[in-house]
Amino acid sequence: MSDVLYLARTYRRAALPHRLHVMIRRVTCPFDRVVDKVPAGGLHADVGCGHGVLLALLHRRNPAGAFLGLDIDRRKIDQARRCALDRIEYRCGVVDDLEPGSFDSMSVVDVLYLMPNSGKAQFLKACARALKPGGTFVVKALVDTPRWKHRVIVLEEHVMVRIFKITKGETIKITSPGVLAGMIREAGFTEPEVIGLDRGYPYPHSLFVCRRADVEEGSAP
């Protein structure tokens, strides 16, 4: 069964606009490439999970896994809970609330562009704190190249964030892959592997894969 059919079935109890949103997310974002980079075992957190599309796909791959989805938007968390997959907990909140050193892996998909650069740095540090030392960190971000794809996404996100307010965010601040890689490193992670994923999509998708650098558990990285 394709991911889209699987999601349509999994979210059948969600309200129709949210169900459609989930399916559009899957078609427009290379979630399969993100899933490939998340290790199959241990406790995984998806920060800024939205409706939980990534978690549903990770659960499909590994139904015995344990997952937490965290988002500041209660509307999306309420809809995510309707998909009722075992072993996925959804929480409304921020990454600073997570217990230090408690996750084996963590993902952040299309969230960083909703924060100013100073906010991104704080957010990334909080992610590093919540991960176990050596834990895998996978970030799918929108970047500012190729230029035409950057223009497409800026226009679309103005509609999503500012006009229809479908997405909650402080701002729209899309940076270069190099700047994001530097911020990730500075926050306490190893040098990220940067993978361009925009081929076949009209959006400037990029993937960053790294590990929490080996710091003492519980201490600020």
Ligand X SMILES: C[S@@+](CC[C@H](N)C(=O)[O-])C[C@H]1O[C@@H](n2cnc3c(N)ncnc32)[C@H](O)[C@@H]1O
- Name the residues that contact ligand X, by CB under 6 A: 25, 29, 47-50, 53-54, 71-73, 76, 94-95, 109-111, 114, 123, 167-169
CB nearer to ligand X: give 43 or 72. Answer: 72
Which structure tokens are listed for 41? 């075992």
Query: Cis ω on the peptide bond leading into residue 146 (within 30° of 0)?
Result: yes
> Around Cβ 170, how many Cβ atoms within 10 Å?
10
Enclosing H/E stretch for 176: none
By Cβ distance, which residue is nearest to ligand X?
50
Q: Which two tokens stand for residue 109?
A: 């998909």
Cβ 104 to ligand X, closest distance in Å?
A: 19
Residue number, 104 or 157, with CB nearest to ligand X: 157
User: Residue 30 CB, nearest distance to ligand X (Å)?
Assistant: 11
Q: Give the single-character DSSP code of 63.
A: T
Nearest distance, CB of residue 111 and ligand X, angstroms: 4
Measure the CA angle with vertex 110, ends 108 and 111; round to 5°: 70
DSSP run (H or E) holding 202: none
Query: Closer to ligand X at the Cβ: 66 or 92?
Result: 92
| Least distance from ligand X to the Cβ atom of residue 114, Å | 4
